[in-house]
Amino acid sequence: MKEIEFDKERLINWYDVHSKNYDDESFVQNDERYGGDKYRIELVSNTLSRLGVKKILDVGCGTSEPMLRFLKEGYDIRGFDLSPGMIEQSKIKLQKNGYSPELVEVGDILDDNYISKYNEKFDAVIVNGVIPYLKDDNKAHENISKLIKNDGYFICVYCNELFDLMTLNKFTMRFHVKNFIEPLSIDQVSKNQIISGLKSLLTMHNKPELTKSGGARDDIFITSHNPMTIGNKLREYNLVVEDILFYKFHAFPPLLKSLFSEVDNLFVNESRKYEIKFARDWRGYFLASTFIVVARKKIL
């Protein structure tokens, strides 16, 4: 399958275009919209309360929907986002709710000059919907770590690479090729034969197809991380994983919805039963498309 290449301007434009409707698309729940990011806010809120932090930086603050919740809960929080459109909506929302619009600004976590403007370190840095969209997430992790005080916390959202194993589609195909086939010490002809055979087993290896209103995964660069190995990566930046929380559950492969229309409502209802309650359950490693890492900064 053809991969979408990272394009910073395309990324910014995507979020600018979606900024006015982003809250409805991400946080509103109804029969047609899962609203999975609503669970993320709840999980992060519970985490912040448990950790007892005060001063927080929200990297990728978006429209400030999560930030507004945390402000109302009494946290000293500010944020920035790469998208001017998202920040525009954020300022409007903050002012409407009685908070200073100056709490947010346009900023880039990969820009060393921008990061150097912060002459303070935070009790916690929240990173929502940022890392999966970056080609150079090593630089992002490095800069984020600089913003966290010693013994402070890193709360970050990642797309779950293991989830691709249960979708039984083009993403499952990609996972097998990347992790199981390419590492084999055999010639490329043999690898291609294995890939061809895998396609015969995965009868929908070319699904889902691109649509005119495709989601972010069909429009812009998005990468995933393995929740089983993320701790190894983060230790390079003095971040030690203390907790992993799963959300955006899928009770069964979503392709089944296109085969049997009668299971559509079942899919939403059964998937939502996993949320929050099963955030730490082993099923999350495979049924949840997204996970939150809670790590602590330690000078190793």
Residue indicated by tokens 């979408």: 4
Q: Residue 299: pLDDT above 50?
A: yes
User: What is the structure's pLDDT at 7?
Assistant: 80
Q: What's the CATH class of domain 8-162+220-297?
A: alpha beta
Answering whether pTM is above 0.85, one says yes
Question: What single-letter DSSP state applies at residue 35?
Answer: -
Q: Are 253 and 168 in contact (CB under 8 A)?
A: yes
Give the sheet arrangement for strand 239-249, strand by strand.
104-106, 76-81, 55-59, 122-127, 148-159, 288-297, 239-249
Amino acid in the structure at residue 2: K
Q: Residue 273: pLDDT above 90?
A: yes
Nearest one of 272, 276, 274, 271 to 256, comparing CA atoms:
271
**Which tokens in the block code for residue 124?**
């916690």
Q: Are 297 and 148 in contact (CB under 8 A)?
A: yes
Return the percent helix, strand and coil in the chain, to nearest 5. Answer: 45, 20, 35
Which range has the worst mean pLDDT, 72-81, 143-152, 196-205, 281-290?
Answer: 196-205
User: What is the structure's pLDDT at 300?
Assistant: 67
Where are the domains positioned within the chain?
8-162+220-297
Q: Give yes or no for a cis peptide into 208 (omega within 30° of 0).
A: yes
Q: Could you report the per-residue pLDDT of 224-272, keeping only the tens digit for each?
A: 999 999 999 999 999 999 999 999 999 999 888 777 777 777 888 899 9
Q: Are 80 and 63 in contact (CB under 8 A)?
A: no
E strand map for the chain? 55-59, 76-81, 104-106, 122-127, 148-159, 239-249, 288-297
